[in-house]
């Protein structure tokens, strides 16, 4: 019988290195406050004042979307930017997300994604 600890340790170390490489690369971190808890949605900016912004122009490889409540981070999502863009396009085709305007003077165009849609895409 082999020692599974050695196998699990090696597997864990491989992924520790992958995480280190993510954090040494280009990342974008967005944090939502409180509202997501009421709506069950996250919002990702794609335009501001009619010009591409946010996800549309990020140069990051990874997108971290943190959800805070009462100034404490409760959970978050980590996406490869290319996968997040593809996921949004696919969900737009299926009418699973919508576009709303918000932010200061409603000048930000936002993709509204139900959190349950994110988990359904992962599972």
What pLDDT does residue 1 have? 44
Band the pLDDT of 23: cuts 50, 70, 90. Answer: confident
Band the pLDDT of 9: cuts 50, 70, 90. Answer: confident
Pairing between strand 51-52 and 62-69?
Answer: unpaired
Q: Please, what is the end-to-end C-alpha distance for the chain in angstroms?
A: 32
pTM of the predicted protein model: 0.83
Residue boundaries of the structural domains of the chain: 26-122
Kindly report, residue by residue over 25-63, the tens digit of the pLDDT.
899 999 999 999 999 999 999 999 999 999 999 999 999
């Amino acid at each position: 019988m082999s020692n599974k600890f050695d196998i699990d340790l090696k597997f864990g170390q491989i992924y520790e290195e992958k995480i280190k490489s993510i954090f040494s690369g280009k990342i974008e971190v967005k944090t939502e406050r409180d509202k997501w808890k009421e709506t069950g949605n996250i919002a990702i900016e794609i335009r501001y004042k009619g010009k591409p912004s946010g996800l549309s122009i990020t140069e990051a490889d990874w997108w971290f979307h943190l959800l805070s409540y009462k100034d404490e981070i409760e959970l978050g999502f980590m996406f490869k930017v290319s996968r997040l863009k593809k996921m949004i396009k696919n969900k737009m085709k299926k009418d699973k997300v919508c576009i709303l305007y918000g932010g200061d003077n409603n000048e930000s165009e936002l993709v509204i994604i139900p959190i349950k849609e994110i988990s359904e895409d992962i599972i």
